[in-house]
Amino acid sequence: MPTITLDANTVRTATCPADKKKLDLYDTATPGSVLEVRPSGGKTYYLRYRDAHGKQRQHRIGDAAGISFEQARNAVQTLRAKVILGDNPAEDKKLLRTIPTLEAFATDRYLPYVKGAKRSWDTDESFLRNHVLPRWGKCHLDEIQQQDVIEFHHALQAKGYAPATANRVVILTRYMFNLAKKWKIPGAEHNPASGVELFEENNKRERFLNAEEVQRLVAAVRASDNRQLQYIVPLLLLLGCRKRELLGSQWDHFDLERRAWRIPLSKTGKARHVPLSADVIALLHQLPRWNRCAYVVPNPKTQKPYVSVFYSWDTARKQAGLPEVRMHDLRHSTASFLVNSGRSLYEVQKILGHTQLKTTQRYAHLSQATLLEAVDSLGQVSGLSLAVA
């Protein structure tokens, strides 16, 4: 184990004997500093040390042709100080090499997971393919910083994307990094999307049907060429469920005796239970049934769930004079009817299956008549009523 006081001149003139594969020169002035000299003339600086378990480790500093002796010695001294404090440079370097790129993480871990956990996984896949991966796909997880997310967020808005679209990119990035941290993926110790302020979204539509509009709509779906639509639309209004939840529902999920419908996989990725009203029970008894068909409202031609009912729905809503009403607005209307009938937001939250009360509050629209009734009651309870009887 040749020891020598290394300096720039020694490094420059050192040679490896022809009968050896390499020559390690140990610096007496800087403990742990090693110069590896090879027959080819190549020379490399290393730090040799023992880790917390007493195992000898070697950390490559750099090639002597690329860095000066002074730079190598300063690097060795800095790393030695970290070793004394408990760090392990060799292990840190090894760990750094295991940090995946965002594209690798999305392909190998994230998408396979969400395909089984989220019903809207195809939306995530689309946002990744069109926005996130073109921007950061080749970056390793630890290379993406909060400022990068903020700049991209604002760049999307500057390109003309809706605030909701720009926000979705931030939300998706934040969710991906949260999962990566939960799974202890190297490089995900810090979430770059955490703390990024979202844009205010003014594009959330609030359209609630009134009783007269419901009657017009029901009359239109009863006249539809799609005979299943006359059941689908009323069930959506009476259950307050999402369209795909109903279209994919099976008879095995319904317990008519206990008046309960179990949705095995909801939008949140968890099962939820929907109470069945007497009207829903009556409507379910009217549904046509097919032998060996497990679905509640299947396409009669295939006896499988509808891929889409848009065209028959579009015709019916236009005939009802409601061309702007979306099928999801039926769910909004259910919440509105429940609140206006005096049901609490907590009850509405449970019926609609919201995980957060603030979501229910957006759906819970009070009619003008209900609000007027509420303010009129102030005069009566306060004794300040001035209205003429």
Q: Per-residue pLDDT tens for 232-255?
A: 999 999 998 989 999 999 999 999
Please report, for the chain, the start and end positions of each structural domain, with discontinuous segments joined by +: 3-98, 102-183, 211-329
Per-residue model confidence (pLDDT) at position 381: 64
Q: Are 33 and 45 in contact (CB under 8 A)?
A: yes
- How high is the mean pLDDT of the chain? 87
Rounded average pLDDT over 294-301: 96
User: CA-CA distance, 23 to 257, in Å (whole number)?
Assistant: 85
Q: Bridge-partner residues for 178, per DSSP?
A: none
User: What torsion do the CA atoms of 191, 193, 194, 195 make, to the nearest 10 degrees?
Assistant: 150
Per-residue model confidence (pLDDT) at position 388: 44
336-345 LR contacts (CB < 8 Å, sep 24+)? 336/208, 336/209, 336/363, 336/364, 336/365, 336/366, 336/367, 338/240, 338/364, 339/364, 339/365, 339/366, 340/366, 340/367, 340/370
User: CA-CA distance, 238 to 242, in Å (whole number)?
Assistant: 11
For the chain, list the strands marked E by DSSP. Answer: 3-4, 23-27, 33-37, 43-50, 56-63, 254-255, 260-263, 272-275
CA of residue 79 relative to chain centroid, distance:
39
For the ranges 5-14, 22-31, 208-217, 265-274, which has the lowest average pLDDT? 265-274
CA of residue 160 relative to chain centroid, distance:
23
Task: Give the chain's length.
Answer: 389
Per-residue model confidence (pLDDT) at position 280: 92
Q: Are 313 and 208 in contact (CB under 8 A)?
A: no
Residue 245's Cβ-count burial label (10 Å; 0-12, 13-18, 19+) is: buried
Q: Bridge-partner residues for 274, per DSSP?
A: 261
Residue 176 makes CB contacts below 8 A (sequence gap 6+) with: 102, 105, 106, 110
Closest Cα to residue 337, out of 208, 201, 196, 158? 208
Which amino acid type is present at position 151?
A: E
User: What is the pairing mode between strands 33-37 and 43-50?
Assistant: antiparallel
Per-residue model confidence (pLDDT) at position 178: 96
Rounded average pLDDT over 178-206: 87
| 270: pLDDT strictly greater than 60 | yes
CATH 3.40.1010 assigned to 102-183: no
- Percent of the chain exceeding pLDDT 90 equals 59
In this prediction, residue 389 has a pLDDT band, given cuts at 50, 70 and 90, of very low
- Percent of the chain exceeding pLDDT 70 equals 88
- DSSP code of 284? H
User: CA-CA distance, 236 to 245, in Å (whole number)?
Assistant: 10
Q: Are 334 and 207 in contact (CB under 8 A)?
A: no
Rounded average pLDDT over 151-157: 95
pTM equals 0.53
CA distance readout (Å), 280 to 234, 247, 275: 9, 15, 9
Q: Classify the C-alpha dihedral 71-77-78-80 as positive or negative.
A: positive
CATH 3.90.180.10 assigned to 3-98: no
User: CA-CA distance, 2 to 254, in Å (whole number)?
Assistant: 82
CATH number of 211-329: 1.10.443.10
Q: Which residues of 85-101 are buried (b: 16+ CB within 10 A; e: fewer)?
A: eebbbbeeeeeeeebbb
Angle between helices 229-239 and 211-222 (to 10 degrees): 150
Rounded average pLDDT over 11-36: 91
| 356: pLDDT strictly greater than 80 | no
Residues 312, 271, 302: CA angle, nearest 5 degrees: 35
